[in-house]
Amino acid sequence: MFRVIRVSQFNSSDAIRASMTAPVHSPGAQFLDPAVLARISSLELRARAVVEGFIQGLHRAPHLGASTDFAEHRPYVPGDDTRRVDWKLFARTDRYFVKEFEADTNTNLMLFLDVSRSMSYGSKLQYACTLAACLAYFSSLQRDRVGLATFANGVVDFVPPSAKHLRLVLHTLDRAPRTVPSTPASPTRLREVFQRLADSVRRRSMVAIISDLYEEPDEVLSAVNMLRGRGNDLMVLHVMEPSEREFPFTESSNFVDLESDEKMPIIPEYLRDDYQKLITGHIDTLSKRLVGQGVDFAHFDTRQPMDKALFAYLGARSRIERARKVG
């Protein structure tokens, strides 16, 4: 089984500290930096799959309705609104056709946030909470329903998706660091957790999984596919500290596995190259396997400012959406 040592020493991320300067008016508000939100406000967190909804929003629906996006023509039948007749097409064909348009709708955004002990390393969990809060806030502006589930070796907190649950999501994110297990527990098994959570995603939704993904790629793919099979638009957002990839340590010392508290004496200069190859291979395998299954995968480095990271990721999603429409 793939196993990466979670070291007990770390350097704080100045970038994250700098992005946490917004005034706190309510629990969780510290995760929403107005400057960050302003820089990404030109983008839309659009579902890449056809979604279902009840009120008009920003996503394509599986039925036709009133919007500005033309879908198709259909023959006129008595009772149709004559304002929808395509008179130019009538002039060419001498037959009456009505324009149909794609209906726009809202959707669910469900956030699955890893709060296992390994996520407490460095600024990882704080960065992940900020990422989740920005996505929830951004999606709520589109009148989408937002929900949140935090998990460790099981489901810790669950907020069902609702258009009125943004404040509750932020409150839950605020307490997330206090829900990290304080003592070693059974290792997190994504498949078991997602098996339980899959039943909570009852309608096609956007699902964002935020985790450090310290499991075998086969296990991660198996867990994610439990959600993918329901027609959801899946985003796997991989959060890591720079030191977890670079292993910059120089002094020989005992390194501690945060999940089990197991200690291991390490001489960094002897293992650095092998470690870097191992972790790089793990990330590359995750990316190839998930993208190959049609799942969004993005790697987030905690030293990267949140606005730049989100702008790059959401911009990539927008480009993919435009390419799909052209195709």
Asked whether residue 228 is assigned to any structural domain, the reply reads: yes
**257 in the same domain as 117:** yes
Asked whether residue 195 is assigned to any structural domain, the reply reads: yes
Report the candidate in 201, 157, 205 with the shortest Cα–Cα distance to residue 180.
157
**Token pair recorded at residue 196:** 């339980």
pLDDT of residue 39: 65
pLDDT of residue 297: 94
Give every CB contact of residue 120 below 8 A, 6+ residues apart in sequence: 177, 180, 258
**142 in the same domain as 279:** yes
- Domain boundary among the residues 76, 105, 134 is at 105
Alpha helices in 200-267 (DSSP H): 217-228, 242-246
Answer whether residue 159 shows pLDDT above 90. yes
Report the candidate in 146, 206, 141, 197 with the shortest Cα–Cα distance to residue 171.
146
CATH code for position 183: 3.40.50.410
- Of the two residues 298 and 316, the one the predictor is more confident about is 298
- Of the two residues 15 and 287, the one the predictor is more confident about is 287
**32 in the same domain as 119:** yes
Q: What is the pLDDT of residues 232-252, one digit of tens each?
A: 889 999 999 999 999 998 888
Asked whether residue 156 is assigned to any structural domain, the reply reads: yes
**Token pair recorded at residue 141:** 């502006």
Report the candidate in 140, 235, 126, 217 with the shortest Cα–Cα distance to residue 180.
126
Asked whether residue 27 is assigned to any structural domain, the reply reads: yes
Task: For residues 146 and 139, give the distance between their C-alpha atoms in angstroms, rounded to a whole number.
Answer: 7
pLDDT of residue 106: 62
**247 in the same domain as 143:** yes
Q: Taking the CB of residue 275, how many other CB atoms lie within 10 A of it?
A: 18
Asked whether residue 90 is assigned to any structural domain, the reply reads: yes
**Token pair recorded at residue 90:** 């009538």
**156 in the same domain as 18:** yes
**87 in the same domain as 218:** no
**175 in the same domain as 302:** yes
The chain-wide mean pLDDT, for the chain, equals: 79
Report the candidate in 37, 101, 43 with the shortest Cα–Cα distance to residue 312.
43
Task: For residues 225 and 191, give the distance between their C-alpha atoms in angstroms, rounded to a whole number.
Answer: 9
Sign of the alpha-carbon torsion through 12, 14, 19, 24: positive
Strand order in the sheet with 155-162: 155-162, 145-151, 108-114, 206-211, 233-240, 296-301
**202 in the same domain as 72:** no
Asked whether residue 3 is assigned to any structural domain, the reply reads: no
Task: For residues 52 and 65, give the distance between their C-alpha atoms in angstroms, rounded to a whole number.
Answer: 13
Range of the domain at 287: 14-51+107-326
Answer whether residue 322 shows pLDDT above 70. no
**118 in the same domain as 257:** yes
Q: What is the dihedral of CA 43, 311, 50, 129, to 10 degrees?
A: -110
Strand partners, 101: 65
Domain count, the chain: 2
Q: What is the pLDDT of residues 272-308, one digit of tens each?
A: 999 999 999 999 999 999 999 889 999 999 999 888 8
Mean pLDDT, residues 149-168 taken together: 91
Asked whether residue 122 is assigned to any structural domain, the reply reads: yes
Task: For residues 87 and 106, give the distance between their C-alpha atoms in angstroms, rounded to a whole number.
Answer: 32
Least confidently predicted of 29-43, 206-220, 222-236: 29-43
pLDDT of residue 150: 96
- Of the two residues 240 and 18, the one the predictor is more confident about is 240
Asked whether residue 286 is assigned to any structural domain, the reply reads: yes
Run of H or E residues at 291: helix 268-292
Q: Supply the DSSP symbol for 45.
A: -
Q: What is the pLDDT of residues 46-63, one digit of tens each?
A: 544 444 443 445 555 555
**132 in the same domain as 88:** no
